[in-house]
């Protein structure tokens, strides 16, 4: 019997050639991934910049209306009439110091038309402005011309950065004085945090005023002409009269800017291109590894196919030799040979089925990327922003009726709400970093009253009946005060959304009970309730039964995450009598002092 030989087939050489032909496919993968990650980073930075600009404008606008209001204070007008009277100057200093303490401004001071500072809130400090001449500042010249003055500069006395608002004090048509409020902007940098993206706020000269990097501060982002340099020398807005240039590699940063027209400032966010290059490199590496894996699998399949064909050829040759030997055998041997053929055919079919199954199992892996949108921040800030707008509108009406004390009350409420918004942002950012905040002891009823007050106007407009079954004694639970209000506000808002399309009567039930493990708060409505799919997926981010204009599907996901972070639990179910039933389980907290309840924001 002769030995069987097989021709050498250079399969791996063909695979290497195929790999070289397919390698150029990685270039469009790199191009598409770079476009995708660039667009994603740009959108994320745009949302972050919008949030920062809104916070900065909110801080400035809070003080913008202060100089015209303070200009009508009697002690200040009396001092302008009799500037040499020491008793009037002392009274004016005391009033300005009290207003500065109440509003949080850095410095408030009153100047004569000649530019001499007559009274100041820092009159008793070593860096007092009293007696100083600020006629060289642009805000003084603009206010003396009858306009509201604005100016960013470094204090020549305090050496602190600040934004100045100046307003003329009039006696009829005559300008008898200038009132100036200085706002400290140092906190505008501390809000940024430690991120790869960098913050930069420049003025009309292109000089960096605020930056997350201290070495960029007071550097010029563009060349300055002679007129701008002369204005810098005259106005002294920076610690140097010749700001050095800020040398940034254009190809190293992705820059997005937003102009704040009313302030003369421009806010920019700079993201290092390394963030994109790193992700693009990873994507291309994964694509190359996937291509190499497919080629290896193809080579293995080809090798197995060759072995299979060799085995078929060997079986066929052996069968032919066997047929030559048994031609003269009996019918039984022919039957046995027939069965052997059938077995070979079955083996061939089984091998073919195996090859097809292996072909179906070779698929490219899917890449998934999870992220948390900054859009959630705007979802959580909608309610405080609505309250701020209401207070601002009321403050305008009160000022028109010269009810300044009531207007100050509204402004204080706006300040508290902006503080709450900053707290919400801090909690969301801390949760995104998996930061663990220790829960505190919080009274449940005041937090619930606050959430109901925020939604009171909407509830009454929808004619929703509120049925409360809560004990008079405070229920103390382990929670975060701001986060508990977030959860309660979101759940109540969802209940109102569920009742929007339902005819009368519309009802919401609130009840609470104490258990061995803590406190359970039940919130029920008589709306349509949850569908089976909604009960199963309600905690998933971006799942919603509303339209895109009504919500992003983040409310219940955020509530569930916050409750679990506080050691509690959010339960979703349908009530036997119809409608949704939501239960908040919270741990018991130590009794404390209930803070003064806020005003009804729905008014």
In this structure, is the dihedral angle defined by the CA atoms of residues 409, 411, 416 and 417, taken in order, positive or negative? positive
The pLDDT of residue 597: 47
Give residue for tokens 């072995």: 307
The pLDDT of residue 178: 93
As beta bridge partners, residue 174 has 171
Burial class (CB in 10 A: 0-12, 13-18, 19+), 339: exposed
Give residue for tokens 């509003």: 103
Who contacts 344 (Cβ-Cβ below 8 Å, separation ≥6)? 315, 319
Secondary structure in 3-state letters for 191-237: CCCCCCCEEEEECCCCEEEEECCHHHCCCECCCCCHHHHHHHHHHCC
> H or E segment at 48?
helix 26-64
The pLDDT of residue 320: 86
The pLDDT of residue 245: 86
Question: Please, how many CA atoms are within 13 Å of residue 600, restricted to the half-sphere of its CB?
Answer: 6
The pLDDT of residue 523: 93
> H or E segment at 478?
strand 476-479
Tokens at 483, concatenated: 């986060």
Secondary structure in 3-state letters for 156-175: CCCCCEEEEEEEEEEECCEE
The pLDDT of residue 94: 93
Q: What CA–CA distance (Å, rounded) separates 464 from 395? A: 28
The pLDDT of residue 166: 92
Q: What CA–CA distance (Å, rounded) separates 492 from 503? A: 18
Cα(first)–Cα(last) distance of the chain, in Å?
Answer: 106
The pLDDT of residue 5: 47
Q: What separation in angstroms does the CA of 257 have from each of 45, 47, 154, 571?
A: 10, 12, 23, 44
Who contacts 495 (Cβ-Cβ below 8 Å, separation ≥6)? 508, 523, 525, 527, 580, 582
The pLDDT of residue 18: 67
Q: What CA–CA distance (Å, rounded) separates 246 from 207? A: 9
The pLDDT of residue 594: 62
Burial class (CB in 10 A: 0-12, 13-18, 19+), 556: buried
Yes or no: say if 209 and 203 are a contact pair by the CB < 8 Å rule: yes
> H or E segment at 66?
helix 66-70
The pLDDT of residue 240: 80
The pLDDT of residue 21: 66
Q: Is the bond into 505 cis (omega within 30 degrees of 0)?
A: yes
pTM score of the predicted model: 0.43
The pLDDT of residue 434: 40
Q: Going from the N-terminus, what domains does the chain have, and what CATH number goes with each?
A: 11-33+276-361 (no CATH), 65-184 (3.30.450.20), 187-272 (3.30.450.20), 436-587 (3.30.565.10)
Q: What CA–CA distance (Å, rounded) separates 91 from 121? A: 11
As beta bridge partners, residue 518 has 587
Q: Is 507 left (phi over 0), alpha (psi -120 to 50) or beta?
A: beta
* β-bridge pairing 464-469 and 506-514: parallel
Q: Which residues of the chain have pLDDT under 70?
A: 1-12, 14-15, 18-19, 21-23, 25-26, 156, 158, 188, 190-193, 354-381, 423-438, 541-554, 593-603
């Amino acid at each position: 019997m002769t030995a069987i030989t097989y021709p050498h087939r250079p399969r791996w050489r063909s695979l290497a050639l195929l790999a070289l032909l397919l390698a150029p496919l990685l270039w469009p993968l790199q191009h598409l991934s770079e476009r995708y990650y660039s667009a994603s980073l740009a959108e994320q930075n745009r949302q972050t910049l919008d949030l920062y600009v809104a916070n900065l404008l909110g801080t400035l606008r809070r003080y913008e209306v202060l100089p015209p209001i303070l200009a009508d204070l009697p002690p200040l007008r009396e001092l302008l009439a009799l500037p040499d009277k020491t008793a009037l100057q002392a009274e004016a200093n005391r009033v300005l110091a009290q207003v500065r303490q109440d509003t949080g401004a850095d410095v408030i001071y009153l100047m004569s038309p000649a530019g001499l500072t007559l009274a100041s809130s820092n009159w008793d400090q070593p860096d007092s402005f009293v007696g100083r001449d600020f006629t060289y500042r642009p805000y003084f010249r603009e206010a003396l011309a009858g306009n509201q003055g604005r100016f960013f500069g470094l204090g020549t006395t305090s050496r602190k950065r600040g934004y100045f608002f100046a307003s003329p004090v009039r006696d009829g048509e005559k300008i008898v004085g200038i009132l100036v409020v200085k706002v400290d902007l140092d906190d505008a940098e501390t809000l940024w945090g430690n991120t790869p993206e960098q913050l930069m706020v420049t003025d009309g000269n292109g000089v960096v005023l605020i930056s997350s990097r201290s070495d960029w501060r007071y550097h010029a982002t563009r060349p300055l002409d002679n007129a701008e340099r002369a204005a810098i020398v005259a106005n002294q807005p920076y610690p140097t009269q010749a700001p050095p240039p800020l040398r940034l590699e254009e190809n190293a940063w992705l820059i997005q800017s937003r102009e704040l027209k009313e302030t003369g400032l421009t806010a920019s966010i700079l993201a290092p291109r390394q963030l994109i290059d790193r992700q693009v490199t990873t994507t291309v590496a994964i694509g190359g590894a996937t291509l190499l894996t497919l080629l290896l699998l193809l080579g293995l399949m080809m090798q197995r196919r060759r072995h299979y064909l060799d085995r078929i050829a060997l079986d066929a040759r052996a069968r032919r030799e066997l047929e030559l030997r048994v031609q003269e055998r009996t019918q039984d041997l022919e039957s046995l040979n027939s069965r052997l053929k059938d077995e070979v055919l079955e083996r061939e079919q089984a091998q073919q089925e195996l090859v097809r199954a292996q072909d179906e199992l070779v698929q490219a892996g899917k890449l998934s990327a999870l992220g948390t949108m900054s859009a959630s921040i705007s979802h959580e800030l909608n309610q405080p922003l609505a309250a701020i707008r209401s207070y601002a509108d009321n403050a305008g009406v009160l000022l028109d009726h010269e009810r300044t004390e009531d207007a100050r009350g509204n402004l204080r409420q706006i300040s508290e709400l902006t503080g709450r918004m900053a707290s919400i942002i801090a909690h969301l950012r801390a949760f995104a970093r998996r930061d663990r905040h220790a829960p505190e002891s919080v009274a449940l009823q005041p937090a619930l009253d606050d959430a109901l007050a925020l939604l009171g106007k909407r509830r009454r407009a929808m004619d929703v009946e509120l049925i409360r079954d809560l004990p008079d004694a405070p229920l103390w639970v382990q929670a975060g005060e701001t986060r508990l209000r977030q959860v309660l506000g979101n759940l109540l808002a969802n209940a109102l959304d569920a009742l929007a399309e339902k005819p009368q009567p519309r009802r919401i039930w609130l009840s609470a009970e104490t258990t061995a493990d803590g406190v359970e708060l039940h919130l029920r409505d008589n709306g349509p309730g949850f569908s089976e799919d909604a009960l199963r997926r309600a905690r998933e981010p971006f799942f919603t039964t509303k339209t895109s204009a009504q919500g992003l599907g983040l409310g219940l996901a955020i509530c569930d995450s916050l409750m679990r972070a506080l050691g509690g639990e959010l339960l979703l179910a349908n009530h036997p009598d119809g409608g949704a039933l939501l239960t908040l389980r919270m741990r018991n907290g130590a009794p404390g002092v209930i803070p003064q309840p806020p005003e009804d924001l729905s008014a």
